[in-house]
Amino acid sequence: LQIGSLTLANTIANDDDDDLTGVENGTCRAADILLKYAFWLNITAKLTAKTNLSDRLRQWFPESASKISESIGSSAKVVDIEMHHFDSLFEAVYMNINEDCSLKNDLAKFVNKFKPTSASKKYAD
């Protein structure tokens, strides 16, 4: 799966495969990656131009602090960052956009709102 020039996953699983353990076995669901990317776009779009992007991202994703600093430095403001850098930053924090990040409640709401339902699920009429 590619977003721009970034390759986020080489092996994509069937979205109906409920037994998949996830990234640990080297296979990802495209829907999961794209939901995280949409969430990423949503949260970064709300930042003001003068926001110190490094500080904010380290606040949200402390596990990715070193990757963030390597990517944009420590004092970059949103206004100083070109759009393609946001994709690179997504790659840096992608593995930490999960239930353990400081945005876990926002992520859960976002996923529940937009996650597609499985075609194999049966619903009562």
- Whether 119 is covered by a domain: the verdict is no
Q: Using an 8 Å Cβ cutoff, are 71 and 86 in contact?
A: no
Range of the domain at 61: 30-114
Confidence of residue 90 (pLDDT cuts 50, 70, 90): confident
What's the pLDDT score for residue 68? Answer: 85
The number of distinct structural domains making up the chain is 1
pTM for the whole thing?
0.72
Phi–psi pair at 13, nearest 5 degrees: -90, 160
- Give me the chain's average pLDDT, please: 77
- The string of pLDDT tens digits covering residues 36-87 is 889 999 999 999 999 999 899 989 988 888 888 888 888 889 998 888 888 8
What's the pLDDT score for residue 1? Answer: 59
- Whether 1 is covered by a domain: the verdict is no
Q: Using an 8 Å Cβ cutoff, are 93 and 68 in contact?
A: yes
- Whether 85 is covered by a domain: the verdict is yes
